[in-house]
Amino acid sequence: MNLKDIHNVFFIGIGGIGMSALARYFKYIDKKVMGYDKTQTPITDELIEKEIFVHFKDEVRLIPDMFKNVKNTLVVYTPAVPSTHSQLNFFRENGFVVKKRSEVLGIITRDTFCFAVAGTHGKTTTSCILAHLLKESGTPLTAFLGGISEDFNSNFVLEGTEYSVVEADEFDRSFLQLSPDVACITSMDADHLDIYGTSNELQKSFRDFVEKIKPGGMLFIRNGLPLQGTTYGIEDGSDYRIENISIEQGTYIFDLVTPTGVLERVRFNKPGRHNLLNGLAAFAMALQAGSPPHRLAEALGTFKGVQRRFSYQIQDTDFTFIDDYAHHPTEISAVYEAIKEMHPNEEITAVFQPHLFSRTKDFADDFAKSLSKFDVVLLLEIYPAREEPIKGITSAWLLEKINNPKKKLVSKLNLINEIKNCKTGVLVTMGAGDIGMEIPKIKKELAYAS
């Protein structure tokens, strides 16, 4: 497929974070862009503001004639779209070029120097830090991000086309469409077992991803993963490592050790050892663009963050509200540890919305263990996303497994009242579903109450 021959791009699932970044890219290079999504969100509102038309009904009649020209229209879809989708089937049955988001991303980045961040946790934060470091060091880049970077206020960055930054998503084996020059694998915990079936099969896909790295390219891996590559970590023996960590007014201060030297008293503002590691991985990758180490270290200190990744919503002397995208037991535990490190001795209320029936089923005991650490647990109903219900797999079933006397199943309608009844010092909301839509309401009510 030659993108020069494409005049129109139609997205099915345009409101997704990765899809919307691609839509912005095609709009920027002067293609006609429109698409469908099932739900109106702030992302679709922003696309519409940029004159990218979005409709919310799966009806073929809503596709303009311009986009029914089979010769110059590209159709991009997300694997989350059901096979019964009428617009998708219209395009397939009429000979259009129809590609998954990952395929298109692979085509766009193939002729660039591509940085790809893979792993079951940390992809979005690491890629956002990497994009920030490269920009601050003057590297011309395009970035397709899986979250809204607070530094760019966007999930799409276009500061040049020589380098690209992408998330290498393991879902549906999407990352096997990429051909990176520099890759990173942050973690390989079991996830997406509805796709892979077993943890071993998931790990095999990461090994397959490593084979996609261009000849002469580099692989960075979190120290301890069962792969061969340049390691990073807090542990001794890591090729890139962090030492002498201290906290000053909520900011990490540390020494950053590289194979060629030590950068002392580097600053990083995002709480959590997992975020420190994300920053270290991004730093190591950015060096491969020839960026001066001292400039990259300075840029670590100015990284603002990513929306819904340990995002402070309220910070008062007696109350803190944090929002996070955590939707896997390992991520929930990392959030807990970060809160305890930055806010010791405070009681913590956790609001969690499970994401997917299959993930809840596969990791129920681990979810229960991670959630049991919090002082109070408010559990929302499972967000189904692309899935149909699984018999017996409910939030009530998960709640029974949580070993915590202060636990409760709540509805979104009653959530704010339940939160107000919890007189804890720290509130954290977690989940990858539509809980993110509730955050502005919660913030407004709690700020008003205080």
Binding residues: 119-125
Instruction: Give the strand pairing for 311-315 and 320-324.
Output: antiparallel
Instruction: Give the strand pairing for 218-222 and 182-185.
Output: parallel
**Dist. CA 145–CA 164, nearest whole Å:** 11
Query: In a 10 Å sphere around its CB, with 0-12 CB exposed, 13-18 middle and 19+ buried, how is residue 109 labelled?
Result: buried
Q: Annotated binding residues for ATP, as ranges?
A: 119-125
Residues 99, 104, 105: CA angle, nearest 5 degrees: 145
**Dist. CA 21–CA 10, nearest whole Å:** 13
Partners of residue 157 on adjacent β-strands: 143
Residue 120 contacts by C-beta under 8 Å, 6 or more apart in sequence?
170, 186, 187, 188, 189, 190, 191, 202, 328, 330
Evaluated on CA atoms 132, 134, 137, 140, the torsion sign reads: negative
For the CA atoms of 379, 380, 383, 389, what is the dihedral angle to 10 degrees? 80
For the CA atoms of 353, 359, 363, 366, what is the dihedral angle to 10 degrees? -30
